[in-house]
């Protein structure tokens, strides 16, 4: 499906089950390409996510002269160019819909000897970039934004100096950009977080041979360290698994198994929140590869109840809230989320767009400046506009398991940015989607 006219039609479905392998982790796929690109030697990536977002990162690296072999859709070899081996691209680098790619490239390219412009689609050009640009400028980078948004112009050839930076709000993307720039800075760059965020960058830098010091809420990296090519096994993306975790809570009477899902403790907030709501989720066959833990997740239909979501879990589930809002709509009682203002600056204002969609399905709710209250109850059928947000489109597909009539979900083309095979996998699980 492509074009803004793409839509999903779903009939109510009563049951899901079976075994699924959801696609590779998007955050880890981006980072494996970027770190492999500035490493010395070859990096083998297995389980790569061939989504539009990750392919935008791949195209950008190729535009800067990097050689990448694609053995299959999910197996790649990156021939690292070393820390100074990237070349000036002939034109602006288009990140499509990927905020992760654009923000991480800001850090990676801040110290390169050439000028570069980073841009993206209409949605990405509305997203805030100054929170990355400001600390990078403090390190000596020359970066321009347009009213705080893309396109972002980086003027190359500026020497960087390490900083000690306290993040004003939790953001793995900002933290990662500063640490990547810190590889090129003189001195030790330290980032301190107000609350834990995903730590894929720190773990992967370790895997490439970079020493990352961790102390409490801080991570620091000394400049001048070289990366050595390695093998990266990308686990399945828990953000993609989240839709099927919620589907399983609603309708997996015989159980639903999700294979080899990443269970990095900075990403498992969705499991913790669903368990607080009464979900029956088991973690089995735990293992580790390249510093990233993974496991099989087994979920069974459960009687969910509304909760007040602990604010400490919000950064650990920030991308999974569209799916969690469907769980809340199907739960008994009220669910309240606060401390989630970050959701307003994702691919869409996810609080407002989810509230609009829930309202279309007859779900009582109250939109708050930094969250939402949702009263569980029956869901009607109807038409929901995802406003081009991939996670919102997939979340409302799961709502069909509790809807009393057919659902139409508009503007779903961007599901390909994170989950190209969502429709066939959803059908395999038992959703009646076309």
The distance of Cα 122 from the centroid of its chain, to the nearest Å, equals 19
| DSSP H or E run through 327 | helix 321-330
- Would you give the DSSP letter of residue 24? B
The answer to whether 374 and 407 are in contact (CB under 8 A) is: no
Tokens of 51: 């989504």
Q: How far apart are the C-alpha atoms of 432 and 434, rounded to whole Å?
A: 7
Tokens of 434: 């076309």
Q: Which of 121, 199, 237, 319 is catalytic?
A: 319
Biggest distance spanned by C-alpha atoms of the chain? 61
The distance of Cα 2 from the centroid of its chain, to the nearest Å, equals 21
- Would you give the DSSP letter of residue 227? P
The tally of CA atoms less than 13 A away on the side-chain side of residue 6 is: 17
319 labelled catalytic: yes
Q: How far apart are the C-alpha atoms of 158 and 405, rounded to whole Å?
A: 59
Sign for the CA dihedral angle at 125, 322, 394, 404 comes to negative
What would the DSSP string read from start to end of 100-135?
HHHHHHHHHHTTSSS-EEEE--TTGGGS--HHHHHH
Q: How far apart are the C-alpha atoms of 189 and 180, rounded to whole Å?
A: 10
Among all residues, which ones are annotated catalytic?
319
């Amino acid at each position: 499906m492509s074009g803004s006219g793409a839509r999903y039609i779903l009939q109510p479905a009563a049951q899901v089950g079976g075994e699924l392998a959801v696609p590779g982790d998007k955050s880890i796929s981006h980072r494996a390409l970027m770190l492999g690109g500035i490493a010395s030697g070859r990096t083998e990536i297995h389980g790569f996510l061939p989504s539009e977002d990750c392919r935008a990162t791949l195209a950008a690296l190729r535009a800067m002269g990097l050689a990448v072999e694609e053995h299959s859709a999910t197996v790649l070899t990156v021939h690292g160019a070393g820390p100074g081996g990237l070349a000036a691209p002939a034109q602006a680098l288009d990140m499509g819909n990927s905020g992760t790619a654009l923000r991480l490239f800001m850090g990676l390219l801040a110290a390169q000897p050439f000028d570069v412009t980073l841009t993206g689609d209409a949605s990405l050009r509305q997203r805030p970039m100054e929170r990355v640009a400001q600390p990078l400028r403090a390190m000596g980078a020359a970066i321009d934004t347009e009213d705080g948004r893309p396109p972002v112009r980086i003027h190359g050839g500026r020497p960087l100096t390490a900083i000690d930076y306290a993040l004003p709000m939790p953001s793995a993307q900002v933290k990662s950009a500063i640490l990547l720039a810190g590889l090129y800075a003189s001195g030790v760059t330290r980032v301190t977080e107000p609350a834990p965020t995903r730590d894929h960058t720190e773990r992967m830098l370790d895997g490439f041979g970079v020493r990352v010091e961790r102390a409490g809420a801080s991570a620091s990296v000394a400049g001048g360290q070289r990366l050595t090519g390695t093998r990266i096994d990308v686990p399945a993306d828990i953000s993609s698994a989240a839709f099927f975790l919620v589907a399983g809570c609603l309708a997996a009477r015989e159980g639903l198994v999700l294979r080899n899902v990443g269970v990095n403790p900075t990403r498992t907030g969705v499991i913790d929140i669903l368990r607080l709501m009464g979900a029956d989720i088991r973690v089995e066959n735990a293992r580790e590869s390249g510093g990233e833990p993974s496991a099989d997740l087994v979920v069974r239909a459960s009687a969910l109840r509304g909760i007040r979501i602990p604010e400490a879990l919000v950064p650990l589930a920030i991308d999974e809230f569209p799916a969690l809002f469907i769980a809340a709509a199907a739960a008994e009682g009220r669910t309240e989320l606060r401390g989630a203002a970050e959701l307003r600056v994702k691919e869409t204002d996810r609080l407002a767009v989810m509230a609009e969609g829930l309202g279309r399905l007859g779900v009582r709710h109250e939109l708050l400046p930094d969250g939402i209250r949702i009263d569980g109850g029956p869901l009607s059928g109807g038409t929901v506009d995802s406003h081009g947000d991939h996670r919102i489109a997939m979340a409302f597909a799961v709502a069909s398991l509790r809807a009393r009539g057919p659902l139409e979900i508009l503007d779903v083309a961007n599901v390909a940015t994170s989950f190209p095979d969502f429709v066939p996998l959803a059908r395999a699980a038992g959703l009646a989607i076309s």
